[in-house]
A and B are shown apart, each in its own frame.
Chain A
Amino acid sequence: MALTEDELKTLSYEPDAAGHFGDYGGRYVSETLMAALSDLDQNYQMLKQDAEFQRQFDSDLANFVGRPSPLYFAERWTNQIGGAQIYFKREDLNHTGAHKVNNTIGQALLAKYSGKPRVIAETGAGQHGVASATVAARLGLECVVYMGADDVERQSPNVYRMKLLGAQVIPVDSGSRTLKDALSEAMRDWVTNVDSTFYIIGTVAGPAPYPQLVRDFNAVVGREVKWQSKEIFGKYPDALVACVGGGSNAIGLFYPFLRDTEVQIYGVEAAGRGLSTPEHAAPLCAGRPGVLHGSKTYLMDNADGQISHTHSVSAGLDYPGVGPEHAYLKDIGRAQYVGATDADALAAFHEVSRVEGIIPALETAHALAYTKELAASMRPDQTVVVNMSGRGDKDIFTVAKMEGISLT
């Protein structure tokens, strides 16, 4: 299934007309949603070419989000590790504190252009919910966010943020009470209110055209890295690293580099308590193909095809599926997917906080943990760009609790 380097250089990396990336992706939903997805696809393919839509998207990214985000040389950490030069793509400096807002701005504009007065979103860690509530407030759209009841407890500051922004947060009590259940509940809402409602999916998962459009809205990250790396060190990076839950920050960084095969690409999944235990959230490393939430992709299930309860210290990576384009990139050999455990991520969280003065999100800390290992194996004249996908303010309560420190 792996392709040759020549093939990888010339692939289009676009899904087919029905939204398939190779065998993956597609539109595995109940009939009620088919018309809405097909309308969304048509609208999106049209607006993608629309100069006014693109102008407004770019303007919002510049003036509301604060793009471009810097490409920052992590000098002390580089010196401490003693391998390749490490650069952080500072998505943590975006308004709302993560890459998520790139996508929500794009989708909320789509909602507005499509005449839908109400948006819904699912959220795990709460970052996508906050980003959706933020953009809905700015555009004057009604916003409802579904969040697993356990996550509502784990991420109470973000719940309050969403409420401050005028969104209604609905805790989801079914199933494992986490992200996958929030996603199911959001799809139910959408089925019921399909005429008035735009569903802002937070990652590159779900039925077509979501994996493609979420990728396109996040691809600004990789496009900026292309010119920034040329400007700062005169060439493309030797390697890219990003954490992968659903995979939107990763695909945003990777996508513009897919044909540049001299650039090595690494996605880092949540290995939880270890890939040899059942307690992780790493479908690409240790799962198998199946169908979940509207697309065919790698996922974690038991022998009978029931979706597994996943585990990760990071709520944003705690999801049993992954975007179908990542499944495709794995199979054709364009990207490599590895795991970082809870313990690895926590160590990197502390290390980067102290050495670089940046508290990373726990999701991002997985990418940092692998970056350390990778950079150490590379030469000092080589460069690694890691997507600093989010800041860690939201996680300080989680980390403190794990370390037995009370903040209240």
Chain B
Amino acid sequence: MTAGRIQARMDALQQIGRKALIPYIVAGDPTPETTVPAMHALVAGGADILELGMPFSDPFADGPVNQRGAERAIAGGTTLGGVLDAVRAFRADDADTPVVLMGYLNPVMAMGERVFCERAHEAGVDGLLLVDMPPEEDGVLVRRARELEMDLIYLAAPTTTDARMRAIGEATSGYLYYVSLKGVTGSSELNAGDVSRKVDAMRAHVQVPICVGFGIRTAEQAAEISKAADGVIVGSVLVSAAEAHANQPEAVPEALRQVLAPMREAMDDVQAGLKS
């Protein structure tokens, strides 16, 4: 498999000694028109890779903040086709920043797994993360995505056993998404020490970069987690910012940038401190 945009970006970051900052927003939240400007604003705020949520009506692995984001997007008329259109429009002005689509299987099945993979690839999507599709349930989608050289990003959790970690380490490409705590997205009990120990232990089974998400809300937490992890994934705090501006969608991109920029700065300060 040739190196995709995700691996190229991760390699480049490693060379300059920078950790990946990966923001997550829900496509179409609060309106379909917000998505593309929001993606560019996140890049301006220091994003290295973008995770774009495909809204689903019943997101049982997400917390209330992300669920409300999905509800706003669906109410605003965002469809899976609309999500792919947003990626294509983003790609017209940004050929480099990797985009990962994150979501649940049912909307993908409704479009058709094969068709979805082909349309996503054509739109410029680099990776897929299906929350409710563990490696055991692979099928048409996994085969077609691999043929098209899109990365399949899998989750690992504090409860994941060593045996499963090996299987997940083999299945995942691009990066591994480590769910930092037992809970849903946006939970609040993050223990940086536990995360750091777990990330170190996982490296025995995982060859790709390990990025950590769930429960990271502040620049300080992002900086702390970035010491051990290869990347930091930030979601609910951004979706909260979108929610706060749901009535002035044009203000959302700048609001997102303002949340992300201090995280970028704090993470880079940590790396600069380690080097000096």
Which residues on A are within 8 Å of B, measured CB to CB?
18, 26-36, 174-175, 180-181, 183-184, 187-188, 191-195, 289-294, 299, 301-307
Contact = CB atoms under 8 A, between A and B. Distances in A.
Given A31-B179, A188-B184, A191-B184, A306 B74 contact: yes
A176 to B, nearest CB: 9
Contact of B160 (A29, A34, A305, A307): A34
B58 A307 contact: yes
B56 to A, nearest CB: 7
A29 B14 CA distance: 32
Of A31, A35, A175, A192, chain B has the most CB atoms within 10 Å of the CB of A31
A301 B156 contact: no
B61 to A, nearest CB: 4
A306 B57 CA distance: 5
A289 B109 contact: yes
Contacts of A292: 58, 106
B93 interface: no
Nearest to B159: A35
Given A188-B60, A188-B63, A304-B79, A290 B109 contact: yes
Contacts of A27: 134, 136-137
Contact of A301 (B71, B110, B179): B110
A187 B137 contact: no
Interface string B182-209: 1110010000000000000000000000
A290 B110 contact: yes
A34 B110 contact: no
A301 B74 CA distance: 13
A305 B159 contact: no
Contacts of B168: 31
A29 B110 contact: no
Interface residues of B, number: 44
B2 interface: no
Contacts of B159: 31-36, 194
B250 interface: no
A33 B187 CA distance: 16
Interface of B: 56-61, 63-64, 67-68, 71, 74, 79-81, 104-111, 131-134, 136-137, 154-161, 164, 168, 179, 182-184, 187
Contact of A192 (B81, B110, B161, B187): B187
A14 B164 CA distance: 25
Contacts of B183: 32, 188, 191-192
Given A29-B61, A181-B58, A188-B61, 20 more contacts: A27-B137, A28-B105, A30-B157, A31-B155, A31-B159, A32-B158, A35-B157, A174-B67, A187-B60, A188-B183, A191-B61, A194-B159, A195-B182, A290-B110, A291-B132, A292-B58, A293-B58, A304-B80, A305-B80, A305-B111
Contacts of A294: 132
B105 A291 contact: yes
Contact of A305 (B110, B133, B161): B110
B55 to A, nearest CB: 8
Contacts of B68: 174
B230 to A, nearest CB: 18
Which 9 A-B pairs have CB atoms at the shortest separation, nearest pair first?
Answer: A305-B110, A305-B107, A30-B61, A31-B155, A184-B60, A35-B159, A32-B157, A306-B57, A192-B183
B60 A32 contact: no
Given A36-B159, A305-B107, A30 B58 contact: no
A175 B137 contact: no
Contacts of B161: 35
Nearest to A207: B132
A143 B67 CA distance: 25
A28 B137 contact: yes
Most B CB atoms within 10 A — which of A27, A183, A292? A292
A170 to B, nearest CB: 13
B275 to A, nearest CB: 34
26 contacts: A27-B134, A28-B133, A31-B155, A31-B179, A34-B134, A34-B159, A34-B164, A35-B159, A35-B161, A36-B159, A174-B67, A181-B58, A183-B60, A188-B61, A191-B183, A290-B109, A291-B105, A291-B132, A292-B106, A293-B58, A293-B60, A302-B110, A304-B107, A304-B111, A305-B56, A305-B110
